[in-house]
Structure 1
């Protein structure tokens, strides 16, 4: 998701990109840039990981949860190993260190990193990722931003002034369908008509634009932002002067077009006798 910039669920299981399961041939077959996962120690990875300072994300688990996960793996995935005991018996073996020592595993990773200064490693805790997903995702995103320009997250460009004017004009043309009340229409039918009008407006904008194609959600958000800024500027201009300070900013052409469109709407009217009840004044 962080690499592609698209929020979508992928059914692909992690084993298809697990280093010790797909071997060198499987790694070479994956498109670059590759994202691999592994359980092996740092010293067991290709030497280029340290030489080229390949970014690593180490995900640690609560030892109790790691034990339960390891038990389930032996029962389901590693059934041929032949373990037939219950969780209590498995836990006893797990704590004895006869099978695997999770604490030794983490300490070994720490020791190997100590002799590889500068190796970029982000440490995350699995349980934190489950409870507070945004913070770990943000940390991973920050780490990925430290790569070459080809890995930089791409931002969609802002609308140009011409695109904003087109958007405002298209919304004005479809004002009744976008903001009116439909007599005799049920809620779902009215919502469908509004959505259809938005789709037509964005299709018209995209037909005139030489930049990236805009979505309906982008159009709604951009128009709402323009309308909010237009009202704030109009209120600031009409507010009685109280002293010094900079001159209020004039509305841009798209904002002025919105104010003109909304001139007769109740949304721009305030309380009777208030500062927002007079006619709208435009400034060049």
Structure 2
């Protein structure tokens, strides 16, 4: 029996030229579509980055503003507390001295009280111009001004008014000076809105000088290196002190400006003394 062989001829795939042209055209269109999408994708990516960047800047701004306001609130609160403490400290010391003045002498305390000097009102009216140098953070600055002390009707110390000027001017709005010279006062800037400065320390009425510290409601603080009088007028006459009218704000500004400009030459001469030649 003769076997027959099954022969399978390989299939031949014939692509027509039109099909090849269509496939090539399709590829070109796809490549062109991909290439044309690149600028759109880049613009979209750039826009997204820009939006995120602006969002980050906005968030940072509001965070910084929030922190800044928080610091300011803390500084304002600490400043008000410092004023209250300075006022209470000065008044407590003054009241204690007045109480000691009226204590009866006994065998147990007469030795300490006999030598105790109780501060009394040394004058009823005190008017003085000052030149001062203070430390501001790590630098030093010079200023000038004047202060007026008037005996309070309650007989516990002096009220204080006046003005100080450096690059700007500031007016005393509140304060108190004890007979002993312990003092505190608050100045409000006439140009920098909201700036307040608290000064605490002690007057020496014998030398017409003041020694103490300062701090503002924005967290800065320092000390007075020099605070001395260039002219002082003291009156012990009740009639004089009662008939002297307090300076108005305009008079304060004019006088403070005059004192400041006059003091600049004095400060400049101290820094740069004239040649002896």
Interval of TM-score (by shorter of Structure 1 and Structure 2): under 0.3
Structure with more strand by fraction: 2
Structure possessing the higher relative contact order (Cα contacts under 8 Å, 6 or more residues apart): 2
Structure with more helix by fraction: 1
* TM-score when normalising by structure 2: 0.18
Which structure's CA Rg is the greater one?
2
* TM-score when normalising by structure 1: 0.18
